[in-house]
């Protein structure tokens, strides 16, 4: 599937077929989509939970209780569920880990290039930490870049998905001990294959016209 067809055909799946499972080979591709997403200055301030078993999905579904119960079946019936999490702080330890990985992957021609990368990334990170004081918001933006990349990517793989913000992050964070590990949950994305009962599958896609959203110059 080409990328425009993937963008045109994807939609927010409202009901999954609980009997259909994503194969292991495609799950490896799904995992690579998470890892290969772009982020500002290659900061990668994220962590993911990939649930494949009924038990694991039930743990995530605890966060869809009460007011958010309308999302429970999406989590339980999906083949797999991905939880997108953001770091709660970005420090020198993380910046050095990024630099070491980039060096191991051969991104630097010499020590000068490596030092330049560290200086440049540290500048922007510290700008959000100390000047704008919006580091948490900035890191969450990077996670949402990943979510967008992921939704388009799984559509290209022929997999249905729905991004969910309607859940209790406190419950989910506690269930997986995320805050103690330096993360917090942002978005739940169940993935799998649509049910024949999914009303949203047959509805036309609706977007504003180019005249409303695009200025060509």
Q: Would you kindly state where each structural domain of the chain is located, as residue ranges?
A: 3-90+136-212
Distance, CA of 83 to CA of 60 (rounded, Å): 8
Catalytic annotation, pick one of 92, 100, 165, 197: 165
pLDDT of residue 173: 98
pLDDT of residue 123: 98
Distance, CA of 184 to CA of 166 (rounded, Å): 15
Structure tokens at 1: 């599937």
Q: Beta strands of the chain (E only): which ranges?
A: 46-51, 80-87, 160-161, 183-192
State yes or no: is 14 an active-site residue: yes
Distance, CA of 152 to CA of 79 (rounded, Å): 18
Catalytic annotation, pick one of 57, 74, 87, 140: 74
Phi, psi (5° rounding) for residue 112? -65, -45
Distance, CA of 26 to CA of 203 (rounded, Å): 27
Structure tokens at 112: 């000068």
| Residue with token string 């982020």 | 39
pLDDT tens string for the chain (217 positions)?
699 999 999 999 999 999 999 999 999 999 999 999 999 999 999 999 999 999 999 999 999 999 999 999 999 999 999 999 999 999 999 999 999 999 999 999 999 999 999 999 999 999 999 999 999 999 999 999 999 999 999 999 999 999 999 999 999 999 999 999 999 999 999 999 999 999 999 999 999 999 999 999 9
State yes or no: is 165 an active-site residue: yes
Give me the sheet containing 183-192, strands edge to edge: 46-51, 80-87, 183-192, 160-161
State yes or no: is 74 an active-site residue: yes
Three-class secondary structure of residue 130 per DSSP = helix
Q: Is the dihedral of CA 12, 145, 147, 165 positive or negative?
A: negative
Distance, CA of 81 to CA of 22 (rounded, Å): 11
pLDDT of residue 22: 98
pLDDT of residue 57: 98
Distance, CA of 157 to CA of 6 (rounded, Å): 8
Query: CATH assignment of 3-90+136-212, given 3.10.129.10, 3.40.50.10950, 3.40.109.10, 1.10.260.40?
Result: 3.40.109.10
Structure tokens at 159: 């997999």
pLDDT of residue 183: 98
Structure tokens at 184: 């917090």
Distance, CA of 69 to CA of 85 (rounded, Å): 21
């Amino acid at each position: 599937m080409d990328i425009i067809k993937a963008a045109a055909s994807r939609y927010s799946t409202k009901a999954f077929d609980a009997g259909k499972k994503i194969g292991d080979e495609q799950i490896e591709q799904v995992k690579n989509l998470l890892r290969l997403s772009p982020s500002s200055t290659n900061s990668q301030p994220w962590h993911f939970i990939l649930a494949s078993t009924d038990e694991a999905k039930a743990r995530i579904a605890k966060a869809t209780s009460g007011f958010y119960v309308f999302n429970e079946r999406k989590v339980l019936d999906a083949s797999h569920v991905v939880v997108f999490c953001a770091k709660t702080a970005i420090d020198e330890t993380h910046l050095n880990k990024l630099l070491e990985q980039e060096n191991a992957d051969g991104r630097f021609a010499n020590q000068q290039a490596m030092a330049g990368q560290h200086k440049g990334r540290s500048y922007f990170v510290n700008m959000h930490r100390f000047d704008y004081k919006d580091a948490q918001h900035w890191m969450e933006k990077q996670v949402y870049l990943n979510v967008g990349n992921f939704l388009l990517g799984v559509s290209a793989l022929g997999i249905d998905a729905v991004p969910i913000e309607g859940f209790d992050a406190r419950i989910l964070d506690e269930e997986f001990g995320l805050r103690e590990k330096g993360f917090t949950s942002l978005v739940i994305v169940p993935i799998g294959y649509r049910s024949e009962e999914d009303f949203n599958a047959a509805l036309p896609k609706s977007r504003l016209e180019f005249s409303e959203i695009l200025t060509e110059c």
